[in-house]
Structure 1
Amino acid sequence: MANSLRIQNLFSVEGRVAVITGGGTGGLGAQMAEGLVANGAKVYLVGRKQSTLQEQVAKLDKISPGKAKYFAMDITIQEEIDKFVKFVEQSEDAIDLLVNNAGLAIWGPPASYLDPLDKLQAGLKASPVDHWKALIATNSWAPYIFTVSFLHLLARAAQKGDGRGSVVFITTIGTQSWNPHTNFAGYISTRTGAEHIARILAAKLLPHKIRVNILAPGIFPSNATSPNDPQGIANPSVASTLAPFKRAGTQEDLVGTIIYLASAASGYVTGARLDVDGGLVLISNGTNKFLP
């Protein structure tokens, strides 16, 4: 007979400690942080700009005072990551959840397969190596080295059971899309690389019970995809023509998934990918529209 109390608390994140990169810009990281704090978790936010991080922590303090801290840093610099680990160690002996959310998007000019070859070639060549280096550093290397740097704290959490010691790589449904209309400049490729890294780490960390999973969002409102932009994919009129569910994702859609991955409810899940996109990835390769 199952323990009814354990079943009742399957989705509890009360008292858990989370680290979220890219959490200070009001985008997906901030939305996840709000959901975790509202449900009793403590959150460390990482980002480049101290001012935006301070603003986000102030918002979280209104939800639950003292449950959020921030650290301004560049996630592509190893020395700064090491400083952040020491900062966390001052207060925590374990990390229950690490969300590798920070990302960089650099899009090239439109380059459709219907273009004449000279235009297609010019569009595809307009992707300098500096852009690729920046994309690889932020989207592929940073989540890898962040996870590796926190392994000792994640392992201590995992030893406690109940789904602790969870790592989530935030990517994009675009990693499963080869729609020939999509603008291409390395973003999707480096997010795809992050997904492969996540699965390699999931396999390597099995003996330590550290779980590594992938959350691939579809269309969600954020600073980069404002619903008020008439041409933006998160605009209700645009999203309704793209997503099979006829809408963009909501904060509840995102928070529900991250709480699942942070809690005992997903304690037997590792190396998996969850598409939170209202079915968009299922049709994306059969459309003629730009997709995220």
Structure 2
Amino acid sequence: MAAARLATRQSGLLRGALTLRHSGVTAVSRPMSTAPSPKTLPSFSMQGKVCMVTGAARGLGYEFCRAFVSSGCTSLAVVDLKDEEAKSAAAELKTFAQATNSDAADAINIIGIECDVSSEHAVQKAYAEIMDTFGRIDSVVASAGIVENYSAFDYPFDRIKKLYDINVHGAFFTAREAARNMIPQGGGSIVLVASMSANIVNIPQPQTPYNASKAAVKHMASSLAVEWAKKGVRVNVLSPGYMLTKLTRTILAHDTELKKTWESLTPMGKMGEPEDLAGAIVFLSSDASSFMTGSEIRVDGGYCVI
């Protein structure tokens, strides 16, 4: 009997709905529920900050730029060795920014700057252009770097010098000019990109000068952090592990055994994706890490703990 009453009631409701439809009356439907927008701490936002990334036309540097844009940055300098590549990357990032920050599309200003970071003069010129364009600089990432694999006996000196000029001197020039412009405005954040190689010796590939250069970058950050701490400039280090950038994928496509070796030595059993660094770079560059300086964040799948 209860089932019959339920069926009768449902039938009556259906007839009522049909009557409303045919009589020309439009029933007001309840709006579809939408998922709430993601929430995060406001201190992680890069909105209103002027950012600069070196080595930004490709690889990890480019991913750092995307992370800043995704976190609300609309003022960004994309710095790389070749002018055409820097400007091309800047154009791509501007399109991405317009789609990501559509409500602030009119405020988006992303520029590409040619700069050889191993040249102090070139770095100073790049900062001059940034200051002329934006009037300030808040967050800088020194990401430009190279790596080569030669045994210690066979490593050509001119290649060692070039590696140090880019990885070590370039990081120093980038950090020093950043601080010179940040201190008068009250401070800022500098992130030097080192590597897990600053902490361990990679195998099986021989790369002694690279490992030593990244150890130098790590200690450089600690030293600069102490020197500038009371002036409002924070200096920290991001040390990636093995990351599957486009270049790395190309190399490993021809050496699958090396990829297996790297994965087997990583406790998580895999290599990282460039996107895995997004949270760390935003944390270090934003106000979320405002009481953090002279520190290192390793994103290496656990490689350095064994």
TM-score by length of 2: 0.77
Q: Distance in 2 between matches of 1:232 and 1:192?
A: 28
Please list every run of 5 or more consecutive structure 1 residues that lacks an aligned counterpart in the other structure. 1-6, 110-123, 284-292
**Aligned residue number for residue 231 of structure 1:** 255
Measured after TM superposition, the shift of residue 103 of structure 1 is 0.3
Q: Distance in 2 between matches of 1:168 and 1:59?
A: 23
- The C-alpha deviation readout for 1:75-111, integer Å capped at 9, x for no partner, is 11122112112101112232111101000212104xx
* Aligned with 1:141 (options 155, 162, 169): 169
Q: Distance in 2 between matches of 1:144 and 1:14?
A: 27
| Contact 1:19 1:45 (C-alpha < 8 Å) held by counterparts | yes
- The C-alpha deviation readout for 1:44-79, integer Å capped at 9, x for no partner, is 111112232232112211122433211012111122
**Aligned residue number for residue 146 of structure 2:** 104
- The C-alpha deviation readout for 1:179-199, integer Å capped at 9, x for no partner, is 574403411111111111111
The answer to whether structure 1 residue 90 and structure 2 residue 90 are counterparts is no
SS in 2 for 1:14: coil
* Aligned with 2:297 (options 245, 254, 274): 274
Measured after TM superposition, the shift of residue 175 of structure 1 is 1.4
Q: Distance in 1 between matches of 2:90 and 2:248?
A: 22
**Aligned residue number for residue 85 of structure 2:** 52
**Aligned residue number for residue 17 of structure 1:** 50
* Aligned with 1:31 (options 63, 67, 80): 63
Q: Distance in 2 between matches of 1:90 and 1:231?
A: 46
- AA in 2 matched with 1:104: I
| Contact 1:225 1:234 (C-alpha < 8 Å) held by counterparts | no
1:202-221 aligned within 5 A? 202-221=225-244
Q: Work out the number of aligned pairs and report it.
A: 256
More relative contact order in 1 or in 2 (CA 8 Å, sep 6+)?
1
The answer to whether structure 1 residue 76 and structure 2 residue 118 are counterparts is yes
| Contact 1:175 1:188 (C-alpha < 8 Å) held by counterparts | yes
| Contact 1:231 1:238 (C-alpha < 8 Å) held by counterparts | no
SS in 2 for 1:269: coil
Supply the RMSD in Å over aligned alpha carbons: 2.2
Q: Distance in 2 between matches of 1:97 and 1:212?
A: 10
Measured after TM superposition, the shift of residue 213 of structure 1 is 0.4
The answer to whether structure 1 residue 64 and structure 2 residue 64 are counterparts is no
Q: Distance in 2 between matches of 1:141 and 1:191?
A: 11
Q: Distance in 2 between matches of 1:234 and 1:9?
A: 42
Measured after TM superposition, the shift of residue 144 of structure 1 is 0.7
Q: Distance in 2 between matches of 1:39 and 1:207?
A: 27
| Contact 1:220 1:248 (C-alpha < 8 Å) held by counterparts | yes
Q: Structure 1 or 2: larger helix share? A: 2
The answer to whether structure 1 residue 40 and structure 2 residue 64 are counterparts is no
TM-score by length of 1: 0.81
* Aligned with 2:195 (options 158, 164, 172): 172
* Aligned with 2:157 (options 124, 129, 134): 129
Measured after TM superposition, the shift of residue 156 of structure 1 is 4.3
- The C-alpha deviation readout for 1:99-143, integer Å capped at 9, x for no partner, is 01000212104xxxxxxxxxxxxxx21112212211111111111
Please list every run of 5 or more consecutive structure 2 residues that lacks an aligned counterpart in the other structure. 1-39, 99-107
- AA in 2 matched with 1:95: I
Q: Bigger shift: 243-252 or 71-80?
A: 243-252
- AA in 2 matched with 1:154: M
Cα distance change, pair 94–81 in 1 and its aligned pair in 2 (3 A): same
- AA in 2 matched with 1:244: P
